[in-house]
Amino acid sequence: MTLKELARHLGLSPTTVSRALNGYPEVKETTRRRVAEAARALNYRPNTRAKSLATGQAMAIGHVIPLSSRHEMVNPIFADFIAGAGEAYARAGFDMVLSVVSDADEAQTYRDLKARGSVDGVIVHGPRAGDPRIDLLDEIGMPFLVHGRSTGTNRPYCWLDVNNRRAFQRATAFLLDLGHRRIGLLNGLEVMDFALRRRDGYERALAERGVPRDPALIRSDEMTEAYGYRSGRDLLALPAPPTAFLVSSMIAAIGLRRAIEEAGLRLGRDISVITHDDDLSYLRNGDDVPLFTATRSSVRDAGRQAAEMLLAIIAQPETAPRERLLEAELTVGQSTGPAPKGQPS
C-alpha cells in the first residue's frame, strides 16, 4: 500500500493525501477525516526510506555500543539503558539503530553513519577522559549526546551524567563516619571517565578526614562478578585488610560477597560494602530492605532522559537543554555497619 495507491483509491492526488496525513492546514476537514479513515482501514504506513529521502530526516537515532576489546564484553547496563531510550524513541516515532563495534572501528562507524545518512544523531556510550569521539562527531557535524562526560575535552558538548564524584564522596564519608579507616575501592576500568570521577570522590573524602590513601586497596577493571570475587579475595588476604569496600557495580559486589563469605566473614558486620546500583531490572537490590547499601541511579531512567534530550536537540538545536546531572541517592541497606573494634589503624 503506497501513497499513490491510497490516493487513487480515494480519488485524490498524492499531494492532498500526504498533506492530510501530515496535518497541513490546506486540506478540508472532511477530506482529512476521509483520508485518515481509509489509511487506517487499509493499514497504510508511509515508507520510511522514501519519507526520509524526501525530508532529509532519517527518523532514527544511532547507538554505537563499544565492545571491550580486552574481554569481548558488553556492559550489562546497556540493556536497561536501551530499554529506557527505546520508550522515548517509540513515543517520538523514531527508530533505534544499534552498532556493536570494537573500539578500533568506532571512528569509522560514526563516519559511515553520517555519510550514509542512516541516523539523525547518536548517543555516545562509555566516554573516556579526553574522548576523541567528541571531536570527531563535532567535526563531521553529527548531533550527539554523551551518556557520561569526558574530562579534558575543551569544546562544549551535550551530556547526561550521574554525579559520580559526589556519590562516591558521600559513600566514602558514610563509611568513614562508621569508623572505617581502611576502605577498599573496586573501581571500574580507569580509562573510563565515570571511574575516574568515582575515584576522585573517594580520594577527596579520604583527604577531607586526613585518612591516608593506600594504593594497595584500590583495584580497577571491567566490572564482572569474577573481578569482584578475585579482588575481594586478594584484598582480604592482605596483612592489613580493609574493613569496608566501595564497589562500582552490583555485579562486582556480588562477586565480592562471595569472597567475603568464603573467607568466613559476615557481610555488614565484619565487612561493610557500598556499591553503586544502576537499578537494573533483573538485579534489583533486594525486595523490601535493600540488600546492599548503595548509591543508586536508574540507568533505565537515564536512557529515557538521554533519548529525550537528544530528540529535543535535533528538533530545536538552540533552545534545548544540553546538560543534565543526575544525583544518585544513597540508600542504606544491610551491607554496612560500624567498623569492628580493635582494627589496626
Interface positions with DNA (CB under 7 A): 1-4, 11-16, 18-19, 21-22, 26-29, 31, 44-47, 50-51, 53-56
- CB atoms near residue 30 (< 10 Å): 8
Select from its own copies, DNA, none the partner in contact with residue 313, using the beta carbon and a kind-dependent cut-off of 5 to 8 Å: none
Q: Is 234 in the site for its own copies (CB under 8 A)?
A: no
Report DSSP letters for 216-233, one per residue. Answer: GGEEE----HHHHHHHHH
List beta partners, residue 295: 276, 330
d(CA 182, CA 180): 6
Binding mask 261-300 for its own copies (x = CB under 8 A): x------------------xxxxx-xx---x---------
Q: Residue 284: which of its own copies, DNA, none does it interact with, CB under 5 to 8 A by kind?
A: its own copies
Out of 7, 32, 80, 183, name the contact with its own copies by CB under 8 A.
80
Question: In the range 105-144, which residues lie near its own copies by CB under 8 A?
Answer: 111-112, 115-118
Alpha-carbon distances of 238 from 86, 217, 258, rounded to whole Å: 46, 9, 17
Nearest to 228 by CA among 266, 171, 185: 185
**Shortest distance, position 342 Cβ to its own copies, whole Å:** 26
Rounded to 10 deg, the angle between the 29-41 and 3-10 helix axes is 120
Instruction: Report strand pairing: 293-296 vs 329-331.
Output: antiparallel
Q: Which residues contact its own copies by CB under 8 A?
A: 1, 43-50, 52-53, 58, 60, 65, 67, 71-76, 78-80, 82-83, 86-87, 90, 95-101, 111-112, 115-118, 222-226, 230, 251, 254, 257-258, 261, 280-284, 286-287, 291
